[in-house]
Structures are given as C-alpha cells and as structure tokens.
A and B are shown apart, each in its own frame.
Chain A
Amino acid sequence: MNKPHTTITESTLMPNATGDTPMSSAHFATPQERSIKKPLLKVNGLVKHFGGLCVTDQVDLTIFKGDIHAVIGPNGAGKTTLINQIVGEIKPDTGHIYLGNEDVSHWSVARRARAGIGRSYQINSLIPHFTVLENVLLAAQAAAGHNFYFFKPATSVTHLVEQAQACLESVNLIAEQDRVAGALSYGQQRLIEIAMTLATRPTLLLLDEPTAGLGPTETERMVELLLRLQNQYATLLVEHDMGAVFALATQVSVLVYGKILMCDTPDAVRNSDVVREAYLGDEEFDA
C-alpha cells in the first residue's frame, strides 16, 4: 500500500471493533490528484430508455481508486439499471463507459468482468447447493483464465483454493468454508457474495445494496469490511441505508428519474435543500 501524502486519518470517525486490521486510512482524491490521476471508471453521457421511460438520462460518473462513490435515490430512480449498464448486462442507448483507458462500452459481461469489474447483486445470487469454498472458487477460477480442465478436482487446485480462502478470510468466513452456502444465514451469504466478487480480482467494485436485508449488527460489520477494502479498489455503492452511505461514501451522487441531480461530498449532499426536497423529503439522517 503506497500511502499518498494527502492521507487523512479517519480513525476517530470510523468504527473498527475488530482492531486486528490496520486502521483504514481513507484516501480521498484531492482535486490536484484528480487532475493527475486517471480515473478507474468513467461514464460519459449514458442514456437508456425502456420504451417511453427514460431510466438513465445523461449520466456522467468518474470514480478513482480509493473512492467510494455512493449512488442514492428513490426506488425506481434507475440505480440498478445504471449498474447493469456498467456491467454490460444492459446495453445503453448512447454514451460510453471507460475502464481505465479502455472503452468497454461494447464488451460482453464476461470480458468486462475479466477486465476488472466486480459486481455484487442486490439479491443473493450465489450457488446455494455449492459449498462456501466452491462458490468462491468458482469466482477465483473465473479470473484465472479458461476452465477447460476436466480431470483434477477443482478443490485440489492449490493456488486457486488459496486465493479463495484468502477472500473468505477477508470476510471472516473461513470457518464455514465446507458448509453448503444455501444453509448459511442471509447475512453470511451477503458476505460470501462480497468474497466472490473479491475473488475475481477486480479493480472496480459495483456493490448493489450490500446491506439490503441485514440487521443492524450485520450492517455494521459490512460497513467495517467495505472500509477495510476501500483503498484497494474503486467502489460504486448503491445503497438505501443512509447510515451506511454517510459512513462510507467519499462522494455521493443523487439519482432521480435517471438523472444525476447532484454529485458532491456527503456533507454537501446531506445539507443540500434541493436533494432534501427532491428525494429525502423531511427524513432525518443519523449518520
């Protein structure tokens, strides 16, 4: 980890109950840095219509390594559709998506994933009757090139198993590796989702409501985990839990009817009257 000179230590703000990880030194890209550094993800003028409905309306996004860019917005604002377009499951009508220097707008889902886009789903979508290890292994071997190997059992391919186990360790689920994934609690399954995403060795994380359906304790753990991961990736976070958003985000975009209403720091968004009116109503934040 090469720490940039503009590191802000946030230890006072961030809960870190486990204490066994080095304190996440959140790295916010300063304006000077932004001008020097290449963004990891750049979305340019993305437009998507479903029939007469405009679900993505001229969306621009720029995400740097170390950023956690939260996208918030009311239901039906087009958040998941936006993720699906970046991932490649939905083709945008116009607009471009750049990953690093490359225009990936016309790449297939699998190719984008191999190029570094890692995505977790809003609804758990692991393979329920595989063991936990097999699930993560599936992800690890996807990143390791083709899988036309017919003889050696996947669970005895040492280097892949080690990678998968490292990912499971990072979400603290190594003890459950031999259990059937479908039998774990919902919260644990959410963590396996993250472990699978990490196992594909992404540079960009697209997390679609990672705390959806989690209890308060589990949400706290997920937030800790994402903070720990922050520096290694560029993260696009779609999230409804405002507590989690304001604990995590370095930047917040507010998406309403497919349009980005505002893109600024969490504090600016929280204090913005426009956002409050358009989306948040008179909801209280307790971040």
Chain B
Amino acid sequence: MARHESTHTTTMLEATHVASDEARMNQQQSLLAATPKPLNATRALLRRIIITIVLAVLFLMPLYAWLADDIFMLTLFGRILVFALAALGLNIALGFGGMVSLGHALYIGLGAYSVGILSTLGMTDGWLHLFTAVAITSVVAIPIGWVALRTQGIAFIMITLAFAQLFYYVFVSLRQFGGDDGISLTNLSSFGVLTGDKYAIYISLSLVLAFVLWLVNRIVHARFGLVLRATCVNERRVNALGTRSMPYRLMAYMLSAQICALAGFFLANLTGFVSPAMMSWVVSGELIVMVLLGGLGTVFGPIIGAVAFLMLEEGLKMMTDHWPLIMGPFIVLVVVFLKNGLWGLLQDRKESPQGDGGNIK
C-alpha cells in the first residue's frame, strides 16, 4: 500500500481512501484479535499453578504415606498414576491422532501379563519384564494398527474393540496362567533391593509419568506431532501435501500402545495381581472417559482426567453404593458442556471458532 511518491493532495486523498479501506477490511480482524489477552494470561498462570499442585501432590504422596504410615493412600494414588499414564498414552492416538481406540486396555493387559507370565515361569528379572512388555506390545500393536487404520470412524472403534476382545478371551482361556481368575504374583519384577517395595514402585512410576508427560509435550510440537495433529483434522490434505499419513498414524498408535504397556507393567507390580479383567473393554471405555473428562488433545488433560475420575469414584464409593448414579450424569454433563474437558476450561481462548484439538473423525 506504499504510495509515497504521489503528489501531496492525491496522497491525502488516497490516504483517507486507504485508511477507510483498511479500516473496513481490518474491522473484522481487529474484532477477532481483541480476544481477552489478560484473561489468557490469568489462565496460563492458573494452569501453571494447577500443574504444580497436581504434580506435587502426586510426587509427594510417598512422603505423606511414609510419615502417616498410610499404605492405602499410596496404593490408591499408585492406581491413579497408572491410569494417568495409560490415559496419557491413549491421548496420543485419541486426542492428537483422532483414532478412537476402544481397545487400549489390551495393551495394559499385555504389559501386566508380561510380568505375570514371565514371573510364573520363574523369570523374575525386572528389566526383562519391562523389555518384554514393550516389545510384545509393539509386535501386537503394529499389525493391529495396520489393519485398523485402514478403517475410519465407527469401523475403527469396532475393529480395535474386536481385537481387544479377541485377546481378552485368549487370556481367559489360558488355564496354566490362571485363566479367568488371573495370577496372584508370588514374585514381582526383580530390581535388586528395591524389589516389591511399594515406595520404590510408586516413585519409579511417578518418574516414568513425568518422563512420558515431557515426551508427549515434545512430540506434539515436533515435526511428527504437527503431521499427526494435521491428519486428525484433514488426512486428505496431508496426503496431497506429500506426506503419507499412514506411517505417522501407525507410529502414534504404537507409541500410545507402548505407554499403556508401561502402565500395565506398573499395575501388575503395584497390585501383585494380573487378570484378564485388566484388558476388558470396560477398562478401555474408562480410559476414553478419562481422556475426554480431562481434555481431548491437551497435553496435561489426561492426568487431570484420570485424577478426577478415580478420586470421584473413590469418594462416591465411600458415600454410597449407588455411586454410578452420580458418576454417570457428572461425566455426561462434563462431556456435553465442556467440549475440551476440564483442562479445556483453563486453555487459552483462541480467536478460532473451532477451539483447539477437539476434532475427532
């Protein structure tokens, strides 16, 4: 719009023209741009405070449990950490990749059974358990993902559910490994002097959770994450730009499965018990609810979701036997009215009408 070389009068004239033009054209933009910035700053601060508080409570729980000699709290919070970890994993596929997998409990189960079966067979080395959990999960997740990712929408949900149920019944039928009843572990994963120590398990679990949280945050903003989040919105466009979407989606599916396997590994050690119930579709459903509750496609949301879900469940169980009567409607209300879950409340209000990352196919 630089027209400085014009004569004085015309410059004046044009200036007014240009100004009114620009004003008209920018009116809409400036209206949009005038979103409450200070509020966003407050939200950012609130987010930081809540992240600090939640992580501090989770990390300092062993200290409290040790001082108050309250192993129950440690176990309860251990369970919360396990599901927070699994929900973080599921969110990579569900929230950032738009893959609604109703079969992720399968990978928790595989992680847990890696511990259960190997320790029943007398192989108790913890690192071996850990390695097996991740390796077996990858071997299973890649072909399942490869098949399932050829479908979309409801078909994807059904196919992941079908595979999970298939493995569920396989493990139910494994009589030598407890069948329906599962395995009570006589030997937990062996890590020298730390073996079976509740505090050691809890602390290592919280460290793994912190690491995975950091990892997810890196991944979604990296080049890989950019592609993944784009496929979630418009896969066709990503392909037309020259990036074959399939390998990225498969990679995300596998990563999320591996993180769930880690959760399964810790769950087995935390409870000293492994059963097919861990991989039932109900668990898969609960994981999805945790992610939705916390905030789909947000980095920290799944942790909030898992904490809120399990605390609420425990709290309501203490009050009444009919706790699902309260829990159910609460979840429905959150999902209906908070499109981006609890964490979405604290997200920056972007100028986009679409909001951030709430797209599922």
Q: Which of the residues B28, B226, B247 comes within 8 Å of A185, measured between beta carbons?
A: B28
Q: Which of B340-361 contact A (CB under 8 A)?
A: 350-357, 359
Query: Inside 8 A of B247's CB, which chain A residues have their CB?
Result: 148
Q: Find out whether the CB atom of A149 lies under 8 angstroms from the CB atom of B239.
A: no
Chain A residue numbers with a CB within 8 Å of B223 are 141, 147-149, 152, 154, 157, 160
Residue A180 interfacial (CB < 8 Å): yes
> Main secondary structure on chain B at its contact with chain A?
helix
Q: Are A180 and B350 in contact (CB under 8 A)?
A: yes
Q: Is the CB of B239 within 8 A of A110?
A: yes
Closest to A153 in B: B221
Q: How far is the CA of A179 from the CA of B26 in the complex (A)?
A: 14
B237 at the interface (CB under 8 A from A): yes
Q: Mark A119-158, 1 if CB is under 8 A from B, else 0.
A: 1010001111110001001110111000111111111010
Picked from A130, A149, A183, the residue with its CB within 8 Å of the CB of B230 is A130
Shortest CB-to-CB span from A115 to chain B, Å, is 8
- Please report the C-alpha to C-alpha distance between residue A179 and residue B352 in the assembled complex, in whole angstroms: 9
Do B234 and A127 touch (CB < 8 A)? Answer: yes
- Min C-beta distance of A107 to chain B, whole Å: 11
Q: Please tell me if A113 contacts chain B, counting CB pairs below 8 Å.
A: yes
Q: Convert B154-171 into 0s and 1s, putting 1 for each residue whose CB lies closer than 8 angstroms to a CB of A.
A: 000000000000000000
B219 contacts across to A, CB distance below 8 A: 150-151
Check A113 against B241 for contact (C-beta < 8 Å). yes
Q: Would you call B354 and A128 a contact (CB within 8 A)?
A: yes
With the chains together, A136 CA to B357 CA distance in Å?
18
Q: Which residue of A lies closest to B227 (CB)?
A: A147
Chain B residues whose C-beta falls within 8 Å of the C-beta of A109 in the assembled complex: 239-240
Residue B44 at the chain A interface, CB threshold 8 Å:
no
Question: A108, B244: Cβ atoms under 8 Å?
Answer: yes
In the bound complex, do residue B351 and residue A183 qualify as a contact, i.e. CB atoms below 8 Å apart? yes
A64 to chain B, nearest CB (A): 23
If A87-B240, A129-B357, A143-B242 touch, does A151 touch B351 (CB 8 Å cutoff)? no
Assembled-state Cα–Cα distance A134/B226 (Å): 8
* Distance to closest chain B CB from A137 (angstroms): 7
Residue from the list A127, A155, A160 in contact with B237, Cβ < 8 A: A127
With both chains docked as a complex, state the minimum distance between the C-beta of B68 and any C-beta of chain A, in angstroms. 40
**Shortest Cβ distance from B117 into chain A, in angstroms?**
31
Interface code A175-188, partner B: CB below 8 Å = 1, 0 otherwise?
Answer: 00001111111000
A241 interface residue (CB < 8 Å to B):
no
B144 at interface, CB cutoff 8 A = no
B6 to chain A, nearest CB (A): 12
B residues near A110, Cβ cutoff 8 Å = 239-245
In the bound complex, do residue A183 and residue B352 qualify as a contact, i.e. CB atoms below 8 Å apart? Answer: yes
**How far does the alpha carbon of A196 sit from the alpha carbon of B248 in the complex, in Å?**
20
Cα(A171)–Cα(B39), bound, Å: 33
10 A-B pairs besides A130-B230, A153-B222 with CB distance below 8 A are A125-B237, A128-B233, A129-B350, A129-B356, A148-B247, A152-B222, A154-B222, A154-B223, A154-B226, A183-B32
- A residues contacting B by CB (< 8 A) are 20, 87, 89, 108-111, 113-114, 119, 121, 125-130, 134, 137-139, 141-143, 147-155, 157, 160, 179-185, 196, 200
| Pairs A–B under 8 Å by Cβ, sample size 11 | A109-B239, A110-B244, A125-B234, A127-B233, A129-B233, A129-B354, A129-B355, A137-B226, A138-B230, A180-B351, A183-B32
